[in-house]
């Protein structure tokens, strides 16, 4: 039995090692290497790439503390947080409403939620260019109503970027939230009302705590890919400010500094790990409390 | 981003591929090779041809450096040919012995990026400058001042590219700073110019340019001569490619073979094929960028009269292969600009 457990799982272990662990180790190795003059890298150990995150040569040549990359990292985290929060706020009522539908309607609605995943991400982001752009759907619609004549451009700003991000990732929030609301026992809600709990109190003290695991799962699914977003900031946000994803891409391209790109990628990965770790700790603590 | 670029790549597979004698994998600027020529070459030589597209020299260099790209022929610009030769990324194909070499215009032979013509045969050349939409801006376009120090009509309606290569070059031309300058004080001036321009810039993006400038979403866009020409002719867009007196940034793309390519003979055959006057003319009419090889002038569509974009009346300064120190300054300018 023991043998089988080892040999039976061997393909899975090999796959994990080759496709997940080895590539990450290579990225770590590159981040501690010396950059090649025209891109690429040489395996000579140095921590230059990490030092560069905090310290840079100024225009006059002296090494100085430069927070520019910290701004970029902070901005990326802020964007991911805003997107996650908006997704939560929008997904909860949507998911709740879906659970209230009949069986058939529910299946169709859930199918509709997953439908965008059948289309390439790039095409979906381009669709927003048509919606928000000059003479786009929104501008034309507003013109028809005759209320607005001259609209300021809706594209290439933070709002457009955020709209694109929320749109791209909200299905990842709706699905787990839906699953947790569906499991909700209606008797508990009735009990709350019987005990003179108002709608607000019922939502706050009964429904939300019971659905919290679904919201957290959705938050992880949304937050993590948001940290690496590249498309929306460039196409909808106008590419005027760098996000971590764009910064990494630039290092492997024009900047010809692979080790620095790798070190930023490692920082990005650490951020994700901290986020997952905090969530894991919270879950264990909760499990302990329940056992006690 | 790279995904978008690849999505524009077309993959052409042809009937009878099973019996095809060989393969040829091209990695070229997106939409740069006339599809009818690809089809013709595949048929004539019984070769299965695939075409992938890239949108920046950096993408191409990174791919070749990562190794085993699987491509047989690529088309970098002059400064990247130089870097690739120096890095040992290209196959020495004795290009000077190819039939194609005899077709190459004297002035494009033995250039600094390939002095002995061992590696490359030029495919197309042109300039990078800026295009204005005449519905939005009707003032003069004889200087980079219009682009970098936007007049009232263009405030908030300027568009730049999303990588620094040619934009920094143009700023250097305007300021009289040497290309590939290693002097931080000089490059600080370039940064100051771009930083002062930034509030007027609506977008930094290198794809979908024809829609943005053609529709008037922006009033001035950093762009290439032939693309501007094609959009003006095909879509009738009210646009004009500027001729700034400070000069345009020049580029020349060459056909080269990556080191270790699997189908070198097919790649050489393709280079010869693209360089015959008949095919070069078809390519010229399709791509709308100037041709460094002899053309069939009776069939060539573009003349100085109907395509002034391709016949610049101002100095053209070709991008160079910068030293790592100079390249770092370019990156510093760009990172600070977008920080």
- Residue-level pLDDT at B285: 95
Q: What is the DSSP letter of B73?
A: E
Kindly determine whether residue A122 and residue B327, on different chains, have CB atoms separated by under 8 Å: no
Would you give the DSSP letter of residue B88?
T
Which residues from chain A sit within 8 angstroms of residue B164, using beta carbons?
254
| Per-residue pLDDT at B20 | 45
pLDDT of residue B11: 35
Domains of chain B: 2-125+252-287 (3.40.190.10), 126-250+309-338 (3.40.190.10)
Residue A116 and residue A31 share a domain: no
Smallest Cα distance from B80 to chain A, Å: 10
Q: How close B246 gets to chain A, by Cα (Å)?
A: 25
Distances (CA, A) of B226 to A213, B159, B254: 56, 18, 16
Residues A55 and A122 in one domain: no
A239 vs B: CB within 8 A: yes
Q: What is the pLDDT of residue A96?
A: 92
User: What mean pLDDT comes out for the span B154-172?
Assistant: 93
Yes or no, beta carbons of B335 and A120 under 8 Å apart: no
Helical residues (DSSP H) of B110-163, grouped into ranges? 145-148
Collapsed DSSP state (helix, strand, coil) of residue B116 = coil
Closest of A154, A122, A158, A126 to residue A138, by C-alpha: A154
Residues of A whose CB is below 8 A from B191: 59
**Residues A134 and A230 grouped into a single domain:** yes
pTM value?
0.86
Asked if residue A182 and residue A250 are part of one domain, the reply reads yes
Q: Give the mean model confidence (pLDDT) for residues A216-245.
A: 91
Backbone angles phi, psi at B192, to 5 degrees: -60, -40
Decide: B248 and B6 in contact? Cβ < 8 Å.
no
Residue A1's pLDDT is: 58
A54 and A82 fall within a common domain: no
Q: Could you write out the DSSP letters of every residue in A86-148?
A: HHHHHHHHHHHHHHTS-HHHHHHHHHHHHGGGGS-HHHHHHHHHHHHSTT-HHHHHHHHHTS-
Distance CA B158, CA B204 (A): 9
- Shortest alpha-carbon distance between residue A114 and chain B (Å): 22
What are residue B127's DSSP bridge partners?
B250
Q: Are A95 and A238 in the same domain?
A: yes
Contact B202 A238 (CB under 8 A): yes
- What is the rounded CA–CA span in Å between residue B107 and residue B100? 15
Chain A, 212 to 231: residues with Cβ < 8 Å from chain B are 230-231
| B-chain residues near A122 (CB < 8 A) | 3-4, 7
Contact between B62 and B87 (Cβ < 8 Å)? no
Q: Which of B61, B188, B205 sits opposite A39 (nearest CB)?
A: B61
Is residue B333 a contact partner of residue B168, using CB atoms and an 8 Å limit? yes
Give the domain range for residue A289: 1-66+257-292
* Furthest-apart CA atoms within chain A: distance in Å: 76
The CATH number linked to A143 is 1.10.3720.10
Q: Choose between A290 and A267: higher pLDDT.
A: A267
For chain A, give the mean pLDDT. 89
Q: Is B303 on the interface with A (CB under 8 A)?
A: no
Kindly state whether residues A145 and A18 are assigned to the same domain: no
Among A60, A122, A134, beta carbon nearest to B4: A122
pLDDT at B12: 34
**Mean pLDDT of the residues in chain B:** 90
- Does A4 reach chain B within 8 Å, measured CB to CB? no
Task: Give B4 to chain A, closest Cα distance, Å.
Answer: 7
pLDDT of residue B93 exceeding 90: yes
The beta-strand segments (E) located in chain B are 22-29, 47-54, 73-74, 121-133, 158-160, 201-204, 220-224, 239-241, 248-255, 316-318
> A-chain residues within 8 Å CB-CB of B7?
120, 122
Which of A37, A59, A230 is facing B324, going by the closest CB pair? A37
Same domain, A107 and A170: yes
**pLDDT at residue B17 above 50?**
no
Q: DSSP string covering A233-292, please?
A: HHHTTTT-S--HHHHHHHHHTTT--HHHHHHHHHHHHHHHHHHHHHHHHHHHHHHHHHH-
**Mean pLDDT, range B149-157, rounded to an integer:** 94
Contact predicate B205/B278, CB 8 Å: no
Phi/psi region, residue A146 (left: phi>0; alpha: psi -120 to 50; beta: rest), is left
Same domain? For A235 and A104 the reply is yes
Give ∠ CA B22-B32-A254 in degrees, rounded to 5. 100
Beta-bridge mates of residue B29: B54
B159 touches B213 (CB < 8 A): yes
How does pLDDT run across A44-97, given as a tens digit for each residue?
Answer: 899 889 998 888 888 877 888 888 899 999 999 999 999 999 999 999 999 999
Q: Is residue A154 located within the same domain as residue A205?
A: yes
Provide DSSP, B20-45: -SEEEEEEEETT-S-HHHHHHHHHHH
Count how many Cα atoms sit within 13 Å of the Cα of residue B65 in the half-sphere of its side chain.
Answer: 24
Question: Residue range B19-44: average pLDDT?
Answer: 89
Which pLDDT band holds residue B9 (cuts at 50, 70, 90)?
very low
- Residues of B with Cβ-Cβ distance to A121 under 8 angstroms: 3
CA distances to B12, B19, B44 from B15, in Å: 10, 9, 13
Distance from the Cα of A33 to chain B's closest Cα (Å) equals 15
Q: Got the DSSP string for A8-55?
A: HHHHHHHHHIIIIIHHHHHHHHHHTSEEPBTBSEE-----HHHHHHHE
- Is B162's Cβ below 8 Å from some Cβ in A? yes
- Res. A41: pLDDT tops 90: no
- What's the total number of domains in chain A? 2
B83 touches chain A (CB under 8 A): yes
Closest CA to B121 of B134, B139, B102, B138: B102
Q: Does residue B202 surpass a pLDDT of 50?
A: yes
To the nearest whole Å, the CA of A37 is away from the closest chain B CA by 6
Q: Give A 38-77 residues with CB within 8 A of chain B.
A: 38-40, 56, 59-61, 68-69, 71-72
Both A79 and A173 in a single domain?
yes
Chain B residues with beta carbon closer than 8 angstroms to that of A252: 62
Contact B3 A122 (CB under 8 A): yes
Return the exposure string of A68-90: e unless at least 16 CB atoms fall within 10 Å of the residue's CB, then b.
Answer: bbeebbebbbebbebbbebbbee
Same domain, yes or no: A240 and A140? yes
Residue B5 has pLDDT above 80, yes or no: no
Nearest CA distance, A263 vs chain B (angstrom): 16
């Amino acid at each position: 039995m023991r043998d089988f457990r080892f040999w039976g799982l061997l393909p899975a272990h090999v796959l994990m090692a080759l496709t997940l662990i080895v590539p990450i180790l290579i990225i770590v190795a590159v981040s501690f290497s010396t950059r090649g003059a025209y891109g690429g890298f040489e395996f000579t150990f140095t921590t230059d790439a990490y030092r560069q995150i905090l310290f840079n040569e100024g225009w006059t040549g002296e090494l100085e503390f430069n927070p520019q990359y910290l701004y970029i990292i902070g901005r990326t985290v802020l964007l991911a947080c805003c997107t996650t929060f908006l997704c939560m706020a929008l997904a909860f009522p949507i998911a709740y409403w879906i659970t209230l539908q009949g069986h058939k309607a529910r299946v169709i609605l859930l199918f509709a939620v997953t439908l965008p995943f059948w289309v390439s991400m790039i095409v979906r982001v381009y669709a927003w260019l048509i919606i928000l752009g000059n003479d786009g759907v929104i501008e034309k619609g507003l013109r028809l109503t005759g209320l607005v004549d001259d609209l300021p451009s809706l594209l290439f700003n933070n709002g457009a970027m955020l709209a694109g991000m929320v749109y791209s990732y909200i299905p990842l929030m709706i699905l787990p939230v839906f699953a947790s609301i569906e499991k909700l026992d209606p008797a508990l809600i009735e009990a709350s009302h019987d005990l003179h709990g108002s709608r607000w109190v019922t939502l706050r003290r009964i429904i939300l705590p019971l659905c919290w695991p679904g919201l957290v799962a959705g938050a992880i699914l949304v937050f993590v890919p948001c940290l690496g977003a590249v498309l929306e900031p460039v196409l909808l946000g106008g590419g005027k400010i760098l996000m971590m994803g764009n910064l990494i891409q630039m290092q492997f391209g024009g900047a010809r500094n692979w080790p620095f790109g790798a070190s930023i990628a490692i920082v990005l990965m650490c951020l994700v790990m901290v986020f997952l770790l905090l969530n894991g700790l919270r879950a264990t603590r909760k499990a302990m409390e329940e056992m006690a | 981003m790279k995904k978008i670029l690849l999505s524009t790549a077309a993959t052409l597979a042809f009937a009878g591929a099973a019996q095809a004698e060989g393969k040829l994998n091209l990695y070229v600027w997106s939409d740069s090779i006339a599809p009818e020529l690809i089809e013709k070459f595949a048929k004539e030589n019984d070769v299965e041809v695939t075409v992938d597209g890239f949108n920046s020299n950096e993408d191409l260099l990174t791919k070749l450096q990562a190794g085993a790209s699987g491509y047989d022929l690529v088309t970098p610009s002059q400064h990247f040919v130089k870097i690739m030769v120096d890095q040992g990324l290209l196959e020495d194909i004795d290009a000077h012995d190819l039939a194609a070499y005899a077709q190459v215009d004297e002035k494009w032979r033995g250039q600094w990026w390939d002095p002995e013509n061992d590696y490359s045969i030029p495919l197309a050349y042109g300039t990078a400058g800026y295009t204005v939409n005449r519905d939005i801006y009707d003032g003069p376009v004889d200087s980079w001042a219009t682009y970098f120090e936007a007049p009232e009509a263009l405030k908030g309606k300027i568009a730049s590219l999303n990588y620094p290569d040619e934009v920094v070059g143009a700023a250097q031309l305007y300021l009289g700073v040497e290309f590939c300058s290693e002097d931080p004080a000089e490059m600080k001036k370039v940064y100051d110019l771009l930083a002062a321009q930034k509030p007027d810039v609506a977008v930094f993006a290198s794809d979908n340019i024809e829609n943005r400038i053609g529709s008037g979403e922006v009033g001035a866009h950093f762009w290439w001569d032939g693309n501007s020409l094609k959009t003006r002719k095909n879509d009738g867009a009210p646009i004009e490619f500027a001729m700034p007196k400070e000069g345009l940034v020049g580029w020349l793309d060459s056909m080269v073979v990556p080191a270790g390519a699997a189908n070198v003979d097919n790649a050489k055959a393709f280079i010869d094929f693209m360089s015959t006057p008949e095919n070069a003319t078809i390519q010229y009419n399709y791509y709308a960028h100037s041709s460094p090889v002899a053309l069939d002038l009776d069939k060539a569509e573009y003349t100085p009269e109907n395509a002034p974009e391709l016949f610049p009346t101002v100095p053209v300064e070709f991008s160079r292969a910068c030293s790592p120190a100079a390249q770092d300054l370019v990156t510093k300018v760009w990172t600070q600009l977008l920080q």
